Amino acid sequence: MKLKNLKIKSYLNYILIAAATVFFLVLSLTGNLKTSTAYLLEEMAIKIMLAVSLSLVVGFLGELSLGHAGFMCVGAYLGGKVAAMLVGPLGNSFLTLVIALVVGGICAGVCGFLIGLPALRLRGDYLAITTLAFGEIVRTIFQNTSAETFGGPIGLPTPRFNDKYFYVICFILVLVTLFVIQNLIRSKHGRAIKAIRDNEIAARATGINVTRYKLLGFIMSAVFAGLAGVLYSYTKFNVSSQIFDYNYSIEILVIVVLGGMGSINGSIISAIAITFLNRELANVLTGDLAILKDLVYALILIVIVIYKNAPALKGFREKYNFKALTAKLTKKKAAAASAEKEEG
Amino acid sequence: MAESKKLYAEDGREIIIKTDHLCIQFGGLKAVDDVNLEIKQGELYGLIGPNGAGKTTVFNLLTGVYKPTYGKVYLCGENLTGKAPAEVNKKGIARTFQNIRLFNNLTVIENVMVGLANQIPCSVFTSVVRLPGHKKSEAEFYEKALEILKVFKLDEFKDYLAANLPYGKQRKLEIARAMATNPKLLLLDEPAAGMNPNETQELMDTITFIREKYNITILLIEHDMRLVGGICEKLTVLNFGTELAKGETSEVLANPEVIKAYIGE
């Protein structure tokens, strides 16, 4: 019985995401989905992929990486370039997208490997600075390319895929990301990765190949950031390197930290929430108030973090939290079920 | 593999670990100087000495944390000098730490499952794609880990986070995790440190029990003389990195030099 419950629980996030996708698909098929909502969904899917992949490195491997936008940038530019080149011979088809994804993912993965190498020797702040530098270097390189290669400062023109339903493809890739990273975490390899986070010296002494797992973590994380980058290039008509600056990396890190280190579902929820919040703030604060957007955003983040951690609010938190709520609900359900049984 | 030649003592028992003039220097300081250990299969060997004598450094040399400046380490006749800690563990030396080093955010059973990682093969691809091999190996992990936890009487705590265990149980879990790597030689670094007399007694029972059950060779560092005198068969006493005395426990503990090093004149 207990095992059965566990099983459903561990697949719940796939089911919910798939259900939401189908729900929105039905909406858009009946013509009730606004284009702006479809764009928001695309953005959410990309943020979820970025957050989940970064959470593998930050939350599970325990290494602070500030260059996640760099991997995304590599994916966006190289995948976008391949797509732009293939649009001629293959058309703006599904095949073009798949090839672009493969190329973007592999290139980002190679970068992940290169960043993983210093990660074996550097720790904490030093690694954070190295990854930060990596992100900036990648961005600067693409910014200074010529107009024919990657567009330089003007940006790289990329094809946009079948406007309306692209978010479905994005969410399918979210499911793929989840499937791979979650399965990795819930295996002996995931245990090894968490063991390295908890105590590297003990992990070595227990026969864990730390080098291998650190590289694996960085490569996997980079591959999915790269895929997210390719999707990003597909959602825009033009990829500009400016957006992949360190602020973007920090934003992804904020999502991961806010969702709770080492919690994939937390990352997903906070990615959705933050993307939504950003969008709503941009909608509400128009005109002169637009400059307040970042301020309000920051204030909300501060309130959330204080709410999550302040000792003074401990009692409140324990009373009204997600776990207590679900426990209450399941209790009610169980009570209802037993009552039904008695009646039967 | 040329060097892998099993060594035997005069009484015919296999020599599990042998160190040959082991030395390490940190700058001008000789932390360990000319230590020659020779431990036979199934022995319970003690390494004692005053604070700063270099006991833990010897452990670090044996497990590959440090590379010796001079000298060699042989496990069952195979030269392990200069191998990385993970490699040394695979060859058959497992250890615990003076300051407990558990995987605090993993559960008790997961800690042991990490220790079993090299025993049960399962590729990354198999795990990620969830091929049938994954489920089979995970079941095996769980079963074997539970078995080990039962030996250490920790099975009822299996779903606790390691950090939430009481101190004495954390020590035991660390030994359980080390045993999960299926070692030939178990190194225990002050297993009784910070324990009350009851916990120490329980620990002594556990050590003698696992030694008989798994027929394993144990080398331990300890300050608790009751434990040392109670279970160790042989001792080496270190003082300022050099061997002060070695031999049968009772003889060594009666040695006036040893008493002098420990208590002073």
Rounded to two decimals, the ipTM of the complex is 0.91
Is residue B80 domain-shared with residue B3, that is, in the same domain?
Answer: yes
Q: Residue B115 is part of which domain span?
A: 103-181
Q: Which residues of chain B neighbour A198 with C-beta distances below 8 Å?
A: 102-106
Q: Is position A47 within any domain?
A: yes
Tens of pLDDT, residue by residue over B204-258, are: 999 999 999 999 999 999 988 888 888 999 999 999 889 998 899 888 888 888 8
CA pair distance A160, A97, nearest whole angstrom: 10
- To test the contact with chain B by mutation, choose from A183, A188, A263 the residue with the greatest count of B C-beta atoms within 10 A, namely A188
Contact B95 A208 (CB under 8 A): no
Q: Which residues of chain A neighbour B117 with C-beta distances below 8 Å?
A: 188, 191-192, 206-208
Which of B130, B152, B181 finishes a domain? B181
Is residue A174 domain-shared with residue A63, that is, in the same domain?
Answer: yes
Is residue A141 domain-shared with residue A25, that is, in the same domain?
Answer: yes
- Residues A111, A69: contact at Cβ < 8 Å? no
Residue-level pLDDT at A148: 80
Which residue in B89, B105, B127 is closest to A184 by CB distance?
B127
Contact B103 A199 (CB under 8 A): yes
Q: Which residues of chain A neighbour B106 with C-beta distances below 8 Å?
A: 191, 194-195, 198
Q: Is position A252 within any domain?
A: no
The size of the A-B interface in CB pairs under 8 A is: 93
Is residue A162 domain-shared with residue A82, that is, in the same domain?
Answer: yes
Contact B95 A201 (CB under 8 A): no
pTM over 0.90: no
Rounded to a whole number of angstroms, the distance from the CA of B106 to the nearest CA of chain A is: 8
Is residue B193 domain-shared with residue B213, that is, in the same domain?
Answer: yes
**Chain B contact for A192 (CB, 8 A cutoff):** yes
**Chain B contact for A238 (CB, 8 A cutoff):** no
Residue-level pLDDT at A2: 45
**Chain A contact for B139 (CB, 8 A cutoff):** no
Is residue B4 domain-shared with residue B15, that is, in the same domain?
Answer: yes
**Chain A contact for B102 (CB, 8 A cutoff):** yes
Rounded to a whole number of angstroms, the distance from the CA of B181 to the nearest CA of chain A is: 7
Is residue B112 domain-shared with residue B160, that is, in the same domain?
Answer: yes
CA pair distance A35, B65, nearest whole angstrom: 59
* Burial of residue B31 (number of CB atoms within 10 Å: 0-12, 13-18, 19+): buried
Contact A210 B89 (CB under 8 A): no
Query: Could you list the pLDDT tens digit for every one of the 265 residues in chain B?
Result: 445 577 887 787 889 999 999 999 998 888 999 999 999 999 999 999 888 889 999 999 999 999 999 999 999 989 999 899 999 999 999 999 999 999 999 999 999 999 999 999 899 999 998 889 999 999 999 999 999 999 999 999 999 999 999 988 999 999 999 999 999 999 999 999 888 888 899 899 999 999 999 999 999 999 888 888 889 999 999 998 899 988 998 888 888 888 888 777 6
Which of B165, B181, B197 finishes a domain? B181
Residues 6+ apart with CB under 8 A from A169: A97, A161, A231
Is residue B38 domain-shared with residue B59, that is, in the same domain?
Answer: yes
Q: Which amino acid is at B137?
A: S
Q: Is position B98 within any domain?
A: no
Q: Is position A259 within any domain?
A: no
Q: Residue A328 is part of which domain span?
A: 314-344
Is residue B77 domain-shared with residue B110, that is, in the same domain?
Answer: no
For A262, left (φ over 0), alpha (ψ -120 to 50), or beta? left
Q: Which DSSP symbol is given to A31?
A: T
Is residue B10 domain-shared with residue B83, that is, in the same domain?
Answer: yes
Q: Is position B97 within any domain?
A: no
Contact A195 B141 (CB under 8 A): no
CB atoms within 10 A of CB B259: 12
Residue-level pLDDT at A344: 46
CA pair distance B244, B257, nearest whole angstrom: 8
Query: Could you list the pLDDT tens digit for every one of the 344 residues in chain A?
Result: 344 555 677 788 888 999 999 999 898 888 888 888 888 999 999 999 999 999 999 999 999 999 999 999 999 999 999 998 888 888 778 888 999 999 999 999 999 999 889 888 888 889 999 999 999 999 999 998 888 888 878 888 888 776 678 899 999 999 999 999 999 999 999 999 999 999 999 999 999 999 999 999 999 999 999 999 999 999 988 888 888 998 899 999 999 988 888 899 999 999 999 999 888 888 888 777 777 878 888 888 888 888 877 777 777 777 777 677 777 777 776 666 666 666 54
CA pair distance A297, A291, nearest whole angstrom: 11
Q: Is position A258 within any domain?
A: no
Rounded to a whole number of angstroms, the distance from the CA of B124 to the nearest CA of chain A is: 7
Is residue B207 domain-shared with residue B257, that is, in the same domain?
Answer: yes
Is residue B146 domain-shared with residue B195, that is, in the same domain?
Answer: no
Q: Is position A275 within any domain?
A: no
Is residue A242 domain-shared with residue A319, that is, in the same domain?
Answer: no
Is residue A221 domain-shared with residue A92, that is, in the same domain?
Answer: yes
Alpha-carbon separation of residue B219 from B38, B94, B215 (angstroms): 11, 10, 13
Please tell me the total count of domains within chain B: 2
**Chain B contact for A266 (CB, 8 A cutoff):** no
CA pair distance A323, A246, nearest whole angstrom: 34
Is residue B61 domain-shared with residue B1, that is, in the same domain?
Answer: yes
